[in-house]
Amino acid sequence: MTALLDAVPALGALARIEAEQVAQVDSKDMSFALWSRLVERVAFWSAQSDVSGIVITHGTDTLEETAMLLHLACVSTVPVVLTAAMRPSTSLSADGPLNLLKGALLVINQEIHAGRDVVKAHTSAVNAFVSPVAGPIGYVQDDFVRFVRTPGRLPVSAWSVPSAWPQVEILASYAEPGRIVVDALAQAGVSGLVVAAAGNGSVHQSLVEALVDAAGAGVAVVRSSRTGAGHVAIPASPRPASGVFVSAGDLNPYKARVLLALALAVEPGLAKDPVALQALFAEN
């Protein structure tokens, strides 16, 4: 962290910086425990009277999931900023220092994205992060920040981060899938399943049958799309017993998993109340 700050001497002219290293892990290894710790530290620093803003540097692999968590659970009276780098800090043209200097919400490659909307859409490109449904909320050019829209949706209220997280897993629908994965996960005691479904949330019939059985055993089932963008049609009345499952709306499977895990931690009974669960996804 100190080396990154030292690489941006202009920061000293903008603000008094105090750094805290919450963790040092490869973001592919992000954990529920680290998420809980991060939210706790954001709440701590937000409560300090002399703090005007919080910047969180984060690896890019699971950044979109952490951004969704903070969108839902962050309680802060000051701006909370996520930023990242697609190039390593040793690169001749490292982008991390530039992104840190320009940070707001998620700022990368001179674009400002809402935490709920942003996803990583390329393995290595500098412009890997996009908001596929609504686009960036703003841009950074030289010393100017230009917002073109407000975030499309804010959570109804801040979610509590649980001390113990329910197990929610993701599986996919594709040509001729077996039901063995659904059955194994249900038997293992998972609380929820998010299906990365084809197209507009279409689930293969063999999976539907397995998911109906899982829902009957008390597992919450939510449909997202594997396409990468767009809304999954919301049923007029979700009926898992008939194969009509809750829609994640425009949330991709990974963001839908974060919301479902938080929801089931707060209210486990939502697994048996698909109408209430659908309303929750529509609101958040």
Residue 61 annotated in ligand binding: yes
- Secondary structure tally for the chain: helices H, strands E: 9, 12
The pTM of the full predicted model, rounded to 2 decimals, is 0.83
26 phi, psi to nearest 5 deg: -65, 130
| Higher pLDDT pick, 156 / 26 | 26
The per-residue pLDDT for 5 is 61
pLDDT value at residue 15:
73
Is 50 annotated to bind ligand? no
Helix, strand, coil abundance in the chain, percent, nearest 5? 35, 15, 50
Mind listing the pLDDT tens digit for each residue in 63-107? 999 999 998 988 777 888 888 865 444 443 444 444 433 333 788
Q: Which fold has domain 168-283?
A: Rossmann fold (3.40.50)
CA atoms of 168 and 261, how far apart (whole Å): 6
Confirm whether 123 is a catalytic residue.
no
- Give the DSSP letter string of 78-132: S-EEEE--SS-TTSTT-SHHHHHHT-SSEEETTEEE-TTT-EE--SS-TT-EE-T
Enumerate the CATH 3.40.50.40 domain ranges in the chain, comma separated: 168-283
Could you tell me where in the chain the CATH 3.40.50.1170 domains are found?
A: 2-147
Instruction: Identify the CATH assignment for 2-147 out of 3.40.50.1170, 3.40.50.12500, 3.40.50.300, 3.90.1150.10.
Output: 3.40.50.1170
Which has the closest alpha carbon to 87: 124, 140, 130? Answer: 124
> Which entry of 2, 60, 62, 77 is annotated as an active-site residue?
60
How do residues 160-203 score in pLDDT, each as one tens digit?
888 899 999 999 999 999 999 999 999 999 999 999 999 999 99
Per this entry, what is the length of the chain? Answer: 284
pLDDT band of 18, cuts 50, 70, 90: confident
Residue carrying structure tokens 């038997």: 187
